[in-house]
Amino acid sequence: MESSHGNCFNVFDANSNICVTSGFGPRRIREESVMLRTVNPSTGALPFQSLMVADLGDVNVNLYNLQDSCRRIQEAYEKIVAAGCIPLTLGGDHTITYPILQAMAKKHGPVGLLHVDAHTDTADKALGEKLYHGTPFRRCVEEGLLDCKRVVQIGIRGSSMTLDPYRYNRSQGFRVVLAEDCWMKSLVPLMGEVRQQMGGKPIYISFDIDALDPAYAPGTGTPEIAGLTPSQALEIIRGCQGLNVVGCDLVEVSPPYDLSGNTALLAANLLFEMLCALPKVTTV
């Protein structure tokens, strides 16, 4: 594996067991990925001819201590990014994005974020705890890990405890794109605006599978109706081509909620599209 030149790309599972309901996601995504091939004829991308791709396996998390698991994830990713690799992560619980971004910021400084999700994940706490899958981006803001003027959240929707659930996000400078503003339209124009906003600085992509409507992706723990379609998901990811993407994740896949495997199959294809959108991928 030649990583010293920054041309190594890793398919990496940081969360095989953090969450009981979503811990089997990475394994099932791997199983469904056998359906994938090597070339993307829609975009002309040749990822496996452009990058060295490796599955580094699972981070050895602490099943009994979430904070220690986050510490282990951060340390593992610091080594990965220090070697010049771009991590593509399979999840599992969305909490993992927090320690990953800690590692990213250590190398790149505050990064831009394209966050595709039904939920903003900027809650402060739940049941008195400040670390869970609904709080990662609040913790990231507090630690200065994000370039908040380059944070875009797409697909947000669902019921709430307040009439203005996005006040915190917008007060931080986030652009919040509600799912209802995406209904029945192409997202290509939106992604043109996103590319302008992100510029040439480092950007991280975090994609929660529940951004998609549960008709397409029922295998997740917190589904919300009236979500994005798979074609819109492709438009979002393909719209990142040319950006300085330094890492990606696809999270919250929970196979017990979808025995058909369709959610994991969709996740595997979206991860392939992320691979195709990475810098240095040749297109023809």
Instruction: For residue range 150-193, list pLDDT tens digits in order.
Output: 999 999 999 999 999 999 999 999 999 999 999 999 999 999 99
Q: Is 121 annotated as a binding residue?
A: yes
Banded pLDDT at 270 (limits 50, 70, 90): very high
What's this model's pTM, rounded to 2 decimal places? 0.93
13 annotated as ligand-binding? no
Tell me what the pLDDT averaged over the chain comes to: 92
| Farthest CA pair distance, the chain | 52
Residues 83-123 have pLDDT tens digits of 999 999 999 999 999 999 999 999 999 999 999 999 999 99
Find the mean pLDDT for residues 186-205.
98
Is 3.40.800.10 the CATH number for 10-277?
A: yes
Q: Is 108 marked as a binding-site residue?
A: no
Which pLDDT tens digit goes with each residue over 226-238?
999 999 999 999 9
pLDDT at 13 over 70: no
| Per-residue pLDDT at 21 exceeds 90 | no
Query: What is the band of 200 on the pLDDT scale with cuts at 50, 70, 90?
Result: very high
How many Cβ atoms from other residues are within 10 Å of residue 278's Cβ?
23
User: Cα separation of 216 and 228, whole Å?
Assistant: 9
Rounded to whole angstroms, how far apart are CA atoms 17 and 22? 8
pLDDT of 14: 40
At residue 66, does pLDDT exceed 90? yes
Read off the amino acid at residue 40: N
Name residues whose C-beta falls within 8 Å of residue 33's C-beta, 6 or more positions apart in sequence. 268, 271, 272
Residue 124 among known ligand-binding residues? no
The per-residue pLDDT for 109 is 98
Mean pLDDT of 241-248: 98
pLDDT for position 23 = 67
Average pLDDT over residues 11-33: 64
- DSSP state letters, 53-97: EEEEEE----TT-HHHHHHHHHHHHHHHHHTTEEEEEE-S-GGGH
Please indicate if the annotation marks 115 as binding a ligand.
no
258 is in an annotated binding site: no
Q: What is the pLDDT of residue 155?
A: 99
